[in-house]
Amino acid sequence: MSLLPYFVAGWLLLIGCFGVVRSRDLVHTVVCVAIAQSGTYVLLLSIGFQYGASAPVQGAPGPVVDPVVQALTLTDIVVSATVTALLLALVIQIAKRTDTVDPDELDELRG
């Protein structure tokens, strides 16, 4: 099944979105957003992968895997971490101001 890793990436994106919709707790929502984004890591890394190739550091034996997508994945991880931090800070503010972290209750409070 030579396309399986790509489908895993698509699955992670959709299951992350599913979790966001199903969520009853904003911290859970933030983690689901991070999972949806991790689909892009899997997609990028599987595009650059080659059977039998080693890590993209010179001196490694044989061919190396694609370093450009690995660099993109690193950027992606940093962005994901910063987004998660910012969203968690927002959750703390929401919890303080409304005394709840359930998205449905927020909806009812604000009408």
What is the binding site for another protein (CB under 8 A)? 2-7, 10, 13-14, 17-18, 21, 46-51, 55-59, 64-71, 74-75, 78-79, 82-83, 85-86, 88-90, 92-93, 96, 104, 107
Decide if 39 contacts 9 (C-beta within 8 A): yes
**What's the min distance (Å) between Cβ of 44 and another protein?**
11
Which residue type sits at 26?
L
Measured CA to CA, the distance from residue 14 to residue 40 in angstroms comes to 11
**What's the min distance (Å) between Cβ of 57 and another protein?**
5
Closer residue to another protein in complex, CB, 35/64: 64
Measured CA to CA, the distance from residue 22 to residue 18 in angstroms comes to 6
Measured CA to CA, the distance from residue 72 to residue 83 in angstroms comes to 16
**What's the min distance (Å) between Cβ of 64 and another protein?**
7
Closer residue to another protein in complex, CB, 58/61: 58
Residue with tokens 């699955």: 11
